[in-house]
């Protein structure tokens, strides 16, 4: 395993243990068994290191979106969307700690926001991708055309993101799978 | 203004400036013009002080829920729900920084979680309250009975919470009011 990989692994582990606020580059370098200077050679700022953890170590939303896109027009729309909803819930549950840490640190957030703007990236993109799949299923007449795809995607992703955050404070009521299925049924009903 | 009020005001101001991680009791006491000992006399833990800021200084969700409850059976359901959605979005936008700070700090979160469990409180309660209003409107036949009230409430509140968080990273696309109205229309369509 190369140094870069060791650093990303160490960052993930240190964040899980100490929170973002406690995930200093000093601590991460120590966990990775390298110097802080070497860490900075691979990651010029803490925000770049956090982005690497988010993009490379979390169960990604990308593959779940790809599966959903490939399933368009096949199988049961509600079943496909429910499976995706559960994957989104898992992703946000894992990502919530890091996302919270970025928001909680105004200077880190400023760097993160600038980096996202420069790369045209951001956490809003999965909503747009989900909206596209819903619009595609509408064109196939498998989803009610009265639904606004963007609104439906905002609500489905938002409910997952919220539930993932709520689970830090309380045990969310009900089973995840039943919860996801009820959401999709309420959204798609004709 | 009493000492307690001065401390809560100071905490809100220090959190806004330095983030939760930088909102030390030392800094808050200095901003309030009191000793740390006096701060601890009023607030035995940082989590109790944060809860006071959340409950006493933020635009509350409670009054918006009360307005929605009182409006049940009157006026336009979609209009009532859209106004509530905008109030929820404003609340979550103001609360997101503190909520993120609590999640980002594992030891603070543990204390917060225990305190919520002991008081039977928590950030999931507004979803249940919104679900009750939707169920009430269903009994009046003003909302489609095929909708699951809990799922509808999860999606509406979740979308607001998510958009509030997204606004830290990027400028969310579209106007808030139009966004809220489209959400409610997609949810309530018959």
- The alpha carbon of residue B41 is apart from the nearest alpha carbon of chain A, in Å, by 26
Q: Do B123 and A96 touch (CB under 8 A)?
A: no
| Interchain contact B24–A (C-beta under 8 A) | no
Distances from the Cα of A1 to the Cαs of A4, A8, A9, A26, B47, in angstroms? 8, 11, 10, 21, 41
- Check pLDDT > 80 for residue B134: yes
- Check pLDDT > 70 for residue B80: yes
- Give the tens place of pLDDT for each residue, A1-47: 799 999 999 998 998 888 777 888 999 999 999 999 999 999 988 87
The C-alpha atoms of residue B53 and residue B99 are separated, in whole angstroms, by 11
Domain boundaries, chain B: 1-57, 59-190
Q: Which residue has the tokens 């359901």?
A: B77
- Give the tens place of pLDDT for each residue, B16-29: 888 777 888 999 99
Q: In chain B, whose CA is at the least distance from the CA of A189?
A: B146
Q: Which helix (H) or strand (E) holds B164?
A: helix B149-169
The answer to which of A90-99, B67-76, B162-171, B172-181 has the lowest mean pLDDT is A90-99
**For the domain with range B59-190, which CATH number is right: 1.10.357, 1.10.3110, 3.40.50, 1.25.40?**
1.10.357
Q: In chain B, whose CA is at the least distance from the CA of A16?
A: B106
- Give the tens place of pLDDT for each residue, B86-112: 999 999 998 888 888 888 877 778 888
Share of chain B above pLDDT 90, in %: 63
Please report the pLDDT score of residue A89 as a whole number.
96
Please report the pLDDT score of residue A59 as a whole number.
67
Q: Do A105 and B103 touch (CB under 8 A)?
A: no
| pLDDT averaged per 10 residues in sequence order, chain A, 190 residues | 92 84 90 95 87 77 93 96 96 86 82 85 92 98 97 98 95 92 96
Contact present, A93 and A167 (Cβ < 8 Å): yes
Average pLDDT, chain A: 91
**For the domain with range B1-57, which CATH number is right: 1.10.10.60, 3.40.640.10, 3.40.50.720, 1.10.1500.10?**
1.10.10.60
Average pLDDT, chain B: 91
Which has more confidence, B68 or A118? B68
Contact present, B147 and B76 (Cβ < 8 Å): no
As for the ipTM of the complex, it is 0.88
Residue B140: count other Cβ atoms within 10 Å of its Cβ: 11
Listed as own residue / partner, the contacts of B39-42 with beta carbons closer than 8 Å and 24 or more positions apart are: B39/B7, B42/B3, B42/B4, B42/B7
């Amino acid at each position: 395993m190369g140094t870069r990989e060791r650093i990303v692994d160490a960052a993930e582990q240190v964040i899980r243990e100490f929170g973002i606020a406690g995930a200093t580059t000093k601590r991460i370098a120590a966990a990775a068994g390298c110097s802080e200077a070497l860490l900075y050679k691979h990651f010029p700022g803490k925000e770049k290191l956090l982005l690497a953890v988010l993009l490379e170590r979390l169960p990604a939303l990308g593959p779940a979106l790809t599966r959903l896109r490939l399933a368009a027009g096949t199988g049961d729309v509600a079943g496909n969307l429910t499976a995706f909803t559960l994957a989104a819930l898992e992703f946000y549950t894992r990502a919530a700690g890091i996302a919270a840490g970025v928001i909680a640190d105004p200077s880190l957030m400023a760097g993160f926001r600038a980096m996202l703007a420069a790369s045209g990236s951001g956490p809003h993109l999965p909503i747009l991708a989900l909206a596209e799949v819903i619009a595609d299923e509408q064109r196939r007449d498998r989803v009610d055309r009265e639904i606004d795809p963007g609104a439906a995607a905002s609500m489905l992703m938002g409910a997952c993101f919220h539930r993932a955050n709520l689970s830090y404070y309380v045990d969310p009521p009900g089973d995840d799978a039943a919860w996801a299925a009820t959401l999709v049924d309420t959204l798609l009903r004709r």
